[in-house]
Amino acid sequence: MAKIAILGYGNLGRGVECAVKQAPDMELVAVFTRRDPLTVKIQTAGVPVLNVSEMEAWKDKVDVLIICGGSATDLPVLTPKYASMFNVIDSFDTHAKIPQHFAAVDAAAKGANKIAMISVGWDPGMFSLNRVYAQSILPEGKDYTFWGKGVSQGHSDAVRRIKGVKNAKQYTCPVESALEAVRSGSMPELTTRQKHTRLVYVVAEEGADKAYIENAIKTMPNYFDEYDTTVNFISEEEFNKNHSGLAHGGFVIRTGKTGMNKEHTHVIEYSLKLDSNPEFTTSVLVAYARAALRMKANGQTGCKTVLDVPPAYLSTLSDEDLRAHCL
Ligand SMILES: NC(=O)C1=CN([C@@H]2O[C@H](COP(=O)(O)OP(=O)(O)OC[C@H]3O[C@@H](n4cnc5c(N)ncnc54)[C@H](OP(=O)(O)O)[C@@H]3O)[C@@H](O)[C@H]2O)C=CC1
Ligand SMILES: N[C@@H](C[C@H]1CC(C(=O)O)=NO1)C(=O)O
């Protein structure tokens, strides 16, 4: 059984508990938190909850550490740090900063003869794979990524980090006219702003500067500054009543042409409809944790992404069964 540990107990941390429980070849051995462990209640009996100060003592007792912090401020620090002690995997999703995150994690993992995997989930992750498949198969074409309407955990986490924010949820909303244009096959040119709007619900701390919070959201680079964003301040009661869900989804669609005169048009579409963004994301993380261990057993170290992973490594099935049942 592969020994899995969680670092960071939020939505993703809770999701990893569920996903490991569903994995016949894995067991959860520890949950690490930066908080006081006595304040962190997990769902799995018999698994220790420990402060990060105790992690060094566990580095030879864990096969893969799944790092569940936020991308805005946690993962840039946590993943390189712990890649020097453990085989690690994270869901880092600040797309513009993935190259620099990869470089930092790669240096740490290689220095410690460990394997690391970053940006694992659905976007980046499954959507990344499908963009590469579609672009490679239909080189003459155009692809589009749409999300929602649903809760972006990355954007919600980024808002929660703003001074004066007690809680927040961000809904990503696709622009219907853009969707219609894409589905018509007309391959429209669309700016970031023309494809999605963003809707944020914030519970502010008592006495917080709401104008400061709204401006900090709307001008936030890599998250909101390229979008038309609406910010609503609501009570904690209304937030808990109307905004406790974490559903999301989206699709990658590519239209491309083939034939000597480009006479034929093809459409590739990969679609996700998610009741729980974190539970789906952590199901991806756990499958890729399995692959990371196989790649490490084959002598691979350093940082990888989903683009580097043979699909068969994700599965619990043997190569023979995969050939017999999945080809
Ligand atoms: N690639 C992809 O497709 C996806 C990526 N993601 C990424 O996952 C990241 C994490 O998302 P999510 O799990 O929703 O973030 P959360 O805000 O739920 O958790 C982030 C961290 O905050 C700390 N935390 C959680 N709850 C509390 C609390 N009540 N009080 C104080 N600290 C708390 C935890 O660390 P600690 O226990 O150490 O305090 C936790 O690891 C996102 O930022 C996003 O970038 C998410 C979905 C998809
Ligand atoms: N990384 C995203 C997963 C998808 C959702 C999304 C968005 O709504 O902007 N972008 O990518 C998340 O944190 O939920």
Which DSSP string do the residues of 234-245 spell out, in sequence order?
Answer: --HHHHHHH---
Domains 2-122+278-321 and 126-275 share a fold: no
- Ligand 1: distance of its center to the CA of 144 in Å? 27
277 is in an annotated binding site: yes
Per-residue confidence (pLDDT) for residue 166, from 0 to 100: 98
Per-residue confidence (pLDDT) for residue 185, from 0 to 100: 84
* Dist. CA 182–CA 176, nearest whole Å: 10
Nearest Cα to 161, choosing from 57, 252, 76?
A: 76
Per-residue confidence (pLDDT) for residue 184, from 0 to 100: 87
Contact 287, 310 (CB under 8 A): no
Contact 174, 150 (CB under 8 A): no
- Ligand 2: distance of its center to the CA of 196 in Å? 12
Instruction: Spell out the long-range contacts of 176-183 with Cβ–Cβ below 8 A and sequence spacing 24 or more.
Output: 178/146, 179/146, 182/144, 182/146, 182/253, 182/255, 183/253
Nearest Cα to 277, choosing from 159, 179, 148, 158?
A: 148
Contact 325, 138 (CB under 8 A): no
* Dist. CA 31–CA 33, nearest whole Å: 7
pTM listed for this prediction: 0.98
Say what the alpha-carbon torsion angle 236, 237, 239, 242 is, to the nearest 10 degrees: 180
**How many CA atoms lie less than 13 Å away from 186 in the CB half-sphere?**
10
- Ligand 1: distance of its center to the CA of 156 in Å? 9
Contact 93, 124 (CB under 8 A): yes
Helices (H), 184-305: 192-195, 210-218, 236-242, 277-297
What is the sign, positive or negative, of the torsion defined by CA atoms of 138, 100, 107, 316? Answer: negative
Per-residue confidence (pLDDT) for residue 54, from 0 to 100: 98
Q: What does the domain layout of the chain look like in residue ranges?
A: 2-122+278-321, 126-275
| Interface confidence (ipTM) of the complex | 0.99
pLDDT in single tens digits along all 327 residues of the chain: 999 999 999 999 999 999 999 999 999 999 999 999 999 999 999 999 999 999 999 999 999 999 999 999 999 999 999 999 999 999 999 999 999 999 999 999 999 999 999 999 999 999 999 999 999 999 999 999 999 999 999 999 999 999 999 999 999 999 999 999 998 888 999 999 999 999 999 999 999 999 999 999 999 999 999 999 999 999 999 999 999 999 999 999 999 999 999 999 999 999 999 999 999 999 999 999 999 999 999 999 999 999 999 999 999 999 999 999 999
Q: In what order do the strands lie in the sheet with 141-147?
A: 141-147, 248-258, 264-274
Per-residue confidence (pLDDT) for residue 91, from 0 to 100: 98
| Three-class SS state of 44 | coil
CATH architecture of the domain with residue range 2-122+278-321: 3-Layer(aba) Sandwich (3.40)
Residue to mutate (ligand 2; options 11, 75, 147; most atoms within 8 A of CB): 147
- Which residue in the block uniquely carries the two structure tokens 């999703």? 93
CB of 277 closer than 6 angstroms to any ligand 2 atom: yes
Q: What's 312's DSSP letter?
A: G
- Ligand 2: distance of its center to the CA of 320 in Å? 36
Residue to mutate (ligand 2; options 92, 94, 95, 123; most atoms within 8 A of CB): 123
For ligand 2, atom 11, the nearest C-alpha belongs to: 123
CB of 125 closer than 6 angstroms to any ligand 2 atom: no
Atom of ligand 2 minimally distant from the CA of 123: 11
**Class of domain 126-275 as given by CATH:** alpha beta
Residue to mutate (ligand 2; options 73, 75, 93; most atoms within 8 A of CB): 93
CB of 15 closer than 6 angstroms to any ligand 1 atom: no
Contact 128, 176 (CB under 8 A): no
- Ligand 2: distance of its center to the CA of 168 in Å? 15
Sequence-ordered strand ranges (E) for 56-184: 64-67, 88-89, 115-117, 141-147, 150-151, 165-174
